[in-house]
Structure 1
Amino acid sequence: MTKAMTKGTHHIGLTVSKLEESAAFFTSLLGWKEVKRNNEYPAIFVSDGSIMVTLWKNQEQPPAAFDKNSNIGLHHVAFAVESESDLSRVYDKLVKNDVKIEFSPELIGEGPAKHMICYEPSGIRVEFTWPGC
């Protein structure tokens, strides 16, 4: 077996239509930290301490909506949570803040792993996954 030439994910870059609102989704709702801003680009960098997400403001107005069934590109981004109760807490907080939910926490296959999907303010599908162990 050959050794992989890469090691994990350094960051994820997302183009968003609502830069401030998308950044607030991560910082205000999920407790991430804003790492830095580049107002000239414009971009906001956020991190949960394990991964960084770079949010870039799109320049096209209005932005084209992504269709997961017909477009090539990001289908969704998934973040791990440490426990089943953390998954429930994320879900409850998103619901209380009127975040659009695609589906509430449910088993992945036969379980015990669970996941849920919502949409951040710019319409990107965000999954939260508890591995079940």
Structure 2
Amino acid sequence: MPTHFHEKPNLYISHVQLKVSHLERSLQYYTTIIGFSVLQQDETTAYLTFDGKTSLLSLVQVDNALPLRDGLTGLYHFALLLPTRKDLGNIVQHFVNLNVRLGASDHDVSEALYLNDPDGNGIEIYVDRPESDWTWQNGSVHMVTDRLNFNPILAEADGQWNGLPEGTVMGHIHLSVADLEATEQFYTKVLDYEVVTRYGGQALFISTGKYHHHIGLNTWHSQGGAKAPANNIGLKSYTIVLKNEEYAEQVKEKLLAAGYQIEQFTVAPLYGGKQAFSTEDPNGIRIIFTVDGE
């Protein structure tokens, strides 16, 4: 599996924070079905881990939770990238054993499973094909949505499912946005992402370092949509790792110059690294920037 895409200097996603309606129910799902373990927990928040050190995902219970619905911006899905195809085979077998309902797609660059948590939050679990097998043409990477052939994946499984494997990362995040053009301007002009694939006028995929995508953006259920209320189920924030403090200052200056507000954050080691600041993108989606993902 290519690993350098989720290391500095790339602008990779290190953590996702989800709002849920019932913390214990969600914890049961994410530990039993997905394979996380709990790193730290209080009455309303749980930090989930695979390695017992850093958190890839945290769950926050909100009072008077409003359900997910169309017409709001936020999470389409977050995506956990497994190290090997054998790992994908093992989790497929695990899902089969538990009779878990799931979707699946072959994207040419990757092989992916799709699930929804008890609140309907979207989850992708995938494995990348070798980087040498990706097809690039005129700066765009070839991606499709074809039926996934489970047979060769299951053939590599060894039955050793003990939760998410060592080396799992937050591979990417896919967002539901209100205005694709304004969102593209933000991520490519204010931040330093590059567009690597477009799906007509309704979706695009962006990355750094020629990954197939660190962030997906679409308007399929959210064109002209509103920012989700604070007590709505869904995305609370996601975290982007910046390569160093000098670069963080440059990002901050560009955000301010473009008219975006910045909020300072205190250090929170469970997110992996030092939190520097946060902002909201044009869709009201909260981004937390960390200076160091170590």
TM-score class normalised by the smaller sequence? 0.7 to 0.9
Is 1:108 matched up with 2:270? Answer: no
Residue 39 of structure 1 corresponds to which residue in structure 2?
A: 200
CA RMSD of aligned residues (A): 2.7
Equivalent of 1:73, from 234, 249, 253?
A: 234
Alignment of 1:9-88 (within 5 A): 9-39=170-200, 42-49=202-209, 52-60=214-222, 62-68=224-230, 70-88=231-249
Answer 1 or 2: higher relative contact order, Cα 8 Å, separation at least 6: 2
Paired AA for residue 204 in structure 2: I
Contact 2:275 2:288 in 1 (8 A): no
- The offset of 1:67, in angstroms, is 2.7
What is the number of equivalent residue pairs in this alignment? Answer: 128
- State whether structure 2 residue 254 is matched by structure 1 residue 93: yes
**Which portions of structure 1, spanning 4 or more consecutive aligned residues, are displaced by more than 3 angstroms?**
58-62
- Secondary structure of the 2:234 match is coil
Q: In 2 relative to 1, CA 26–62 (structure 1 residues): closer, same or farther, beyond 3 Å?
A: closer
Contact 2:227 2:285 (8 Å CA) reproduced: no
Q: Which has the higher helix share?
A: 2
Give, as a single letter, the amino acid of the residue that structure 1 aligns with 2:206: V
SS of residue in 2 equivalent to 1:23 = helix
Q: TM-score, normalised by structure 1?
A: 0.80
Higher Cα Rg, which structure: 2
Residues 5-34 of structure 1 deviation map (CA, whole Å, 9 limit, x = unaligned) = 472123211000011111111111112110
Gaps of 5+ in 2: 1-50, 52-161
Q: Is the 8 A contact 2:276 2:291 kept in 1?
A: yes
Q: Is the 8 A contact 2:266 2:275 kept in 1?
A: yes
Unaligned runs of 5+ in 1: none
Relative to structure 1, the CA distance from residue 65 to residue 132 in structure 2 (aligned partners, 3 Å threshold; closer, same or farther) is closer
* 3-state secondary structure, aligned to 2:233: coil
Normalising by structure 2, we get a TM-score of 0.39
Q: Deviations over 1:89-116 (max 9, x none)?
A: 1111100111233x14x44159x92321
